Chains A and B, each alone.
Chain A
Amino acid sequence: AQSVTQPDIHITVSEGASLELRCNYSYGATPYLFWYVQSPGQGLQLLLKYFSGDTLVQGIKGFEAEFKRSQSSFNLRKPSVHWSDAAEYFCAVGGMEYGNKLVFGAGTILRVKS
């Protein structure tokens, strides 16, 4: 079965600093990888997704992620964080044999200090 690990429960960065959120997945075949963001009490919004092709994926709000098969990782990055980026970020993995089912990581809470 697929699984996702987000090793950082909380991360605090200064506004304007760069950000990297880590995600490691376990899946035997080609994974379908997603990053979602959730503000408190809200639904999830997709930031970006990877299925195949270019391993560097651009998303909304200035985010990008890089798929590294050798490291089973799909880390999320942003060069300059804004206070409005404070939220919880979830990495998720899916796969053909699991149909529509997504498995989410535990999430990383991002705090931005001014």
Chain B
Amino acid sequence: DTEVTQTPKHLVMGMTNKKSLKCEQHMGHRAMYWYKQKAKKPPELMFVYSYEKLSINESVPSRFSPECPNSSLLNLHLHALQPEDSALYLCASSQDPGGPHNEQFFGPGTRLTVL
């Protein structure tokens, strides 16, 4: 299984809602990532988890809260988002948290719209 899955595929939420994005991989990878991608822009790194511990937080606003319940799952909890947070949210995983040479496998993304 060389797949990263993400749910939901699409999400529409109001600014007062609380929602969560879910990411799952069963490749035994020990690093997992959240990226944000605005239209016609490259992915921007948000968070990195290494061995289920948060290792990188790219100064992301606290209305985004990541969680790694186990080595296969990664969640992104959303609360009080702004319309400018509307984007494609991509999850990725790689085998070795300490190795920049490891390929990152990407999921298909969650298209988030904040009204």
Give chain A's interface residues, CB within 8 Å of chain B.
32, 34, 36, 41-46, 49, 51, 90, 94-96, 98-102, 104-107
Contacts and interface: CB of A to CB of B under 8 A. Distances in A.
Given A90-B42, A99-B97, A106-B42, A42 B109 contact: yes
A24 B59 CA distance: 27
B104 interface: yes
B94 to A, nearest CB: 7
B11 to A, nearest CB: 14
Interface in B49-67: 50, 55-56
B105 to A, nearest CB: 8
B81 interface: no
Given A100-B50, A107-B42, A43 B98 contact: no
17 contacts: A44-B43, A44-B90, A44-B104, A45-B106, A90-B42, A90-B43, A94-B101, A98-B100, A99-B55, A100-B33, A100-B55, A100-B56, A100-B94, A100-B100, A100-B104, A102-B104, A104-B42
Interface residues of B, number: 30
Contacts of A100: 31, 33, 48, 50, 55-56, 94, 97-100, 102, 104
Contacts of B40: 107
A43 B42 contact: no
B45 interface: yes
A106 to B, nearest CB: 6
A8 B13 CA distance: 35
